[in-house]
Amino acid sequence: MGKRMDMVASFGIFFMLMFGMLLFTGKDVRIISVLAAICALCLSVIIKSIQKKAKVFSFRRRRNSASRRVKALIYKENKEALNEVIAILEKKYPIHSVSMEGGRMYFKEGALEEQLEICIIRKYKASPDDILAFWREARKIRPVRGILFLIPGKMDSDVKLLRYKIDQPKVLIFDSNALKMLYRKHGQPEQIEFKEKRIWPIHFIKSAINRKRALRYLAYALLLTVYYLLSGNLLYLFIGAFLIFICLFSFFSNTNSDKLFS
**pLDDT-wise least confident of 99-113, 144-158, 233-247:** 233-247
**For residues 81-101, average pLDDT:** 92
What are 128-166's pLDDT values in tens digits?
A: 999 999 999 998 998 899 999 999 999 988 888 888 888
Cβ neighbours of 213 (radius 10 Å): 16
The set of residues, in sequence order, having a beta carbon less than 8 Å from that of 109 and lying 6+ positions away, is: 93, 94, 95, 96, 116
* pLDDT for residue 16: 74
**For residues 39-49, average pLDDT:** 72
* pLDDT for residue 260: 45
